[in-house]
Amino acid sequence: MMADNNNLEERVATLEREVAELRELLKPSARLKDPRRTFGMFKNDPTYAEIVELGRKWREKENRKSLENME
């Protein structure tokens, strides 16, 4: 029976360590430390592509207004 208790204690210790590591990864500060984690996150996302296009059109419109006001 003693061997089973040691094995169980080792397994619990391992699980506790892994849970602690996961909790650390889930903290906002840990996720934000490496900006490379966000690279490519919107790749092939049609909604994001639409947002980019709408932003481009808005900027062009605002630039035209600004130029008209300068004349």
Domain boundaries, the chain: 1-35, 40-71
Q: Whole-prediction pTM value?
A: 0.46
pLDDT digits (tens, 9 = 90+) for 3-60: 677 899 999 999 999 999 999 888 876 556 677 778 888 999 999 999 999 999 999 9
- Residue by residue, DSSP assigns 22-58 as HHHHHSHHHHHS-GGGGTTTTTT-HHHHHHHHHHHHH
For the chain, the maximum distance between any two Cα atoms, rounded to a whole number of angstroms, is: 91
pLDDT tens digits along 22-34: 998 888 765 566 7
E strand or H helix that includes residue 71: none
Phi-psi region of 44 (alpha: psi -120 to 50; beta: other; left: phi over 0): left
